[in-house]
């Protein structure tokens, strides 16, 4: 492995800006790495080598012309295949969109290009972002670089695995119920769910519109902050976009790493503990809380009783919105079309296409959501779930009057084996137990690695939660803890992963 693929995004950008290395050399190193290892990982669904090298050459030309380069110019990135990319396949991990070439870029894609980020390709994911393991991709599961028999989390397992296997220093994910943070936790990487509305959803194919949020994935907190600032900000094309300045996340990350968190109030959520939590996960989490205390934070236990009902509320709200959003895949406008032979009606073509194009998990959620929204059941199910959502929001509001941030394990367990929970949807859904409340409330959340579980040697994630539009608090606390842990370990956690 070349040194170029092991550098952080910040280091890579600095090396390109000062002429130590060219953007083309960086892109080539990462494309070579993909060619070497991705047949075992399956992190990418499509590699755009030609586009990546063209973008890298443009960065080198700018530097040669004396133009000032941005903070991420020339840095390679894996883009989750939920974001439209003009002229490049966007499948959402589904057969129903196989071969679809979007005619436009998502706002996130456009902002990445404007920042001169080099998009290597599209990363694998659970179909339409529905899953917690990336086993639901129509193009095969992604494997965890720490153990190829285990899942890399989901739905954004491709993005997290690309980071952990040094195929890209940056990635973009989406988080509907934990799909950025949970993969980050089980792969030893950093994942951030920004405040809902903080990053535009225009061109991000919808699963659950009131919950979906794109965000940065990286190997360090500072790299995540740099990517966050590149993609965030108001977008008039997204009606839910927040028209307010982007929180100063890069400044907060630098402040946390250098000045610490003395005096900050950190809340430990009482509900995120107990039965079902792996002993090694609990141990590493408790050690991290004590480290935060040693760094000068005030630790407070916080009671959020409605969090116990977050999981069932989520699995009524998300499928309900999904059943509405996925109705657009009717075989009439784009994507797969089955049975269009003149012998079938339009309704029959739609039914045959959905039968062939949607996978089992997507069908399960569409049926669940359609049932929850049906006449006579709407108030009993969807309506009640929205009331629980309000209670969760109130619990967060009460908690943030007492503390600056909340912390918890990101996931109850480390990465489980591929196929282990495939026939048990409830066991699979429990992987998102700690992450879902944040999506229901629209707050900001981060996962960062806090060690390896003693019983299996796999990464454990610590989750930090902050109020809406206080994303900078995540980065200050995350950077302080990251620096303290790095001092303890003596090297980055990914250096402990088995060589590929």
Residues acting as catalytic residues: 80, 155, 179
Query: How far, CA to CA in Å, does 235 sit from each of 105, 111, 117, 307, 391?
Result: 14, 11, 19, 32, 30
Q: Are 336 and 357 in contact (CB under 8 A)?
A: yes
Query: Exposed, middle or buried: residue 422 (CB in 10 Å: 0-12, 13-18, 19+)?
Result: middle
The CA distance from 300 to 281, in Å, is: 20
- Greatest C-alpha distance within the chain: 73
Q: Are 169 and 9 in contact (CB under 8 A)?
A: yes
- The DSSP code for 194 is P
How many other β-carbons are positioned within 10 Å of the β-carbon of residue 62? 17
266, containing H or E segment: strand 265-269
Q: Are 472 and 251 in contact (CB under 8 A)?
A: yes
Q: Are 198 and 475 in contact (CB under 8 A)?
A: no
Phi, psi of 412 (to 5 degrees): -70, -25
The CA distance from 62 to 64, in Å, is: 5
The CA distance from 195 to 247, in Å, is: 10
DSSP 99-130: T---SS--HHHHHHHHTT-EEEEEE--SGGG-
Q: What is the CA radius of gyration of the chain?
A: 21
What b/e readout covers 383-393, taking b as 16+ CB neighbours within 10 angstroms?
ebbeebbebbb
Q: Are 453 and 493 in contact (CB under 8 A)?
A: no
Q: Give, rounded to a whole angstrom, the gap between the first and last alpha carbons of the chain.
A: 9
The CA distance from 422 to 418, in Å, is: 8
């Amino acid at each position: 492995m070349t040194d170029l693929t092991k550098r952080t995004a910040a280091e890579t950008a600095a090396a390109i800006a000062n002429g130590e290395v060219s953007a083309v050399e960086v892109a080539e190193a990462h494309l070579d790495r993909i060619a070497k290892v991705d047949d075992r990982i399956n992190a990418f669904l499509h590699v755009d080598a030609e586009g990546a090298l063209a973008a890298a050459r443009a960065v080198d030309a700018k530097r040669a012309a004396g133009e000032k380069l941005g903070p991420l110019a020339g840095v390679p990135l894996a883009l989750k295949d939920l974001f439209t990319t003009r002229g490049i396949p966007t499948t959402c991990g589904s057969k129903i969109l196989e071969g679809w070439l979007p005619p436009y870029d998502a706002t996130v894609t456009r902002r990445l290009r404007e920042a001169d980020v080099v998009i290597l390709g599209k990363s694998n994911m659970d179909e339409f972002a529905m899953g917690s393991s990336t086993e639901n991709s129509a193009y095969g599961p992604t494997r965890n670089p720490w153990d190829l028999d285990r899942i890399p989390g989901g739905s954004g397992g491709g993005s997290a695995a690309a980071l952990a296997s040094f195929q890209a220093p940056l990635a973009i994910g989406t988080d509907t119920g934990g799909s950025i943070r949970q993969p980050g936790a089980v792969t030893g990487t950093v994942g951030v769910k920004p405040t809902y509305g903080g990053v535009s959803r225009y061109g991000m194919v919808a699963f659950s519109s009131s919950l979906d949020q794109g965000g940065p994935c990286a190997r360090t907190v500072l790299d995540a902050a740099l990517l966050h600032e590149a993609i965030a900000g108001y977008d008039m094309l997204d009606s839910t976009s927040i028209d307010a300045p982007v929180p100063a996340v890069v400044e907060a990350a630098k402040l946390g790493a250098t000045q610490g968190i003395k005096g900050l109030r950190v809340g430990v959520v009482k509900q995120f503990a107990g039965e079902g939590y792996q002993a090694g996960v609990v141990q590493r989490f408790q050690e991290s809380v004590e480290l935060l205390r040693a760094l000068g934070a005030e630790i407070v236990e916080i009671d959020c009783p409605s969090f116990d009902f977050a999981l069932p509320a989520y699995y009524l709200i998300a499928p309900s919105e999904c059943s509405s959003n996925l109705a657009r895949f009717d075989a009439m406008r784009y994507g797969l079309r089955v049975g269009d032979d003149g012998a079938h009606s339009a309704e029959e073509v739609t039914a045959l296409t959905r039968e062939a194009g949607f996978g089992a998990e997507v069908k399960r959620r569409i049926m669940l959501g359609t049932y929850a929204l049906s006449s006579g059941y709407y108030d009993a199910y969807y309506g009640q779930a929205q009331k629980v959502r309000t209670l969760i929001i109130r619990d967060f509001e009460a908690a943030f009057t007492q503390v600056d941030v909340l912390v918890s394990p990101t996931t109850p367990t480390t990465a489980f084996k591929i196929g282990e929970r495939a026939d048990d949807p409830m066991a699979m859904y429990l992987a998102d137990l700690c992450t879902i409340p944040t999506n229901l409330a629209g707050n900001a959340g981060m996962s960062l690695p806090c060690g390896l579980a003693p019983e299996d040697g796999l990464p454990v994630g610590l989750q930090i939660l902050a109020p809406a539009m206080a994303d900078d608090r995540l980065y200050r606390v995350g950077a302080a803890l990251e620096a303290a842990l790095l001092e303890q370990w003596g090297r980055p956690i990914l250096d402990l992963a088995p060589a590929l």
